[in-house]
Amino acid sequence: MSGSQSHARVHSADLARTRAWTIAASAGLAWALFNLVILHAVSSFDPLTDPLSRYAFTDRGSGMLEASLLSVAVGVIALRGAVMSAGLPMTRTTSTLVYATSTGLATAALFPATFSPDIDPISGRIHQYASVVAFASLPAIALSLVDVVRATQALRRIAIVLTWLLRIAIVSLALFGVSYVADALAAWPVFGPLAESLPVGFTQRIVFIVDFCLLATLLVAAMRSAHASTSATGDFPATQGLETRPLKTQGLERATGTESAPAHGYDASHAGSFDQRYAHCYGHSYAHCGCSGNAGQD
């Protein structure tokens, strides 16, 4: 098997793995979005003022919030597989952020917030800290990969989109933090008006939407990188891995028995009549030699 064929097979396998991981991640994220949309449609809570954690105690759609969080956790893990299969560098920091995001989401799903008196306050604390870890780590994943995406020639346009989404994510996360603190301290005169003008439910949903867009952009970057690597293998010359000497010269050496002669210092005076006639072809490509059409007639 030639070098170009082996490279093509390797990149085709990488493309197949990247596609499989991308489908898995997309399925997880799509299922999470579906559950969240249905949950908001059937629940009686206000999406502007009520945080998502309260939807664990909804009168209709019970369990859908937990399913959404777990689906996103699976999607983030699958995203890591897609990025690695595409050949994009995955640092230890990025992997740690991926696992932190997934663990935070799964923990927040398993430990509900303290919106009901029958919930243990410890569960509420765990939910709170796990949510903070997940919300902070998810945009950090994109931040750790933005330089890798920007350095890849085929992903320059995606890098621009990713950069803008990161800016929006940082601003929205800051607004969510401010609204969360204002809601917790709403009894104070200073924070009361701020909590009313900047509802925590509204800012939290903005963060969720931007985070979904970041994950989707990274999936597109992984697939685009895998396709670019596979397409690049088609540009390899068919003679890759062979000798770089012209084909005309190699055939001439075999015919005259001078195959082991060095490339430089070729002495035509010691060759036969055939070699003397075509000695001037040595060092020229077959296509540019004036006698290329006559060599096969001798």
Cβ atoms of 57 and 112 closer than 8 Å: yes
At 241-250, the pLDDT tens digits run 433 444 444 4
Q: What CA–CA distances, in Å, run from 137 to 28, 170, 188?
A: 18, 11, 31
SS3 63: coil
191 versus 3: the higher-pLDDT residue is 191
269 versus 145: the higher-pLDDT residue is 145
The DSSP-derived string for 24-47 is HHHHHHHHHHHHHHHHHHH--S-T
Write 273-280 long-range contacts (CB < 8 A, 24+). Answer: 274/298, 278/252
Over residues 234-243, the mean pLDDT reads 42
Q: Which residue has the tokens 């009901």?
A: 116
For residue 233, what pLDDT band results from cuts at 50, 70 and 90?
A: low
pTM: 0.74
| Encoded amino acid at 198, one letter | L
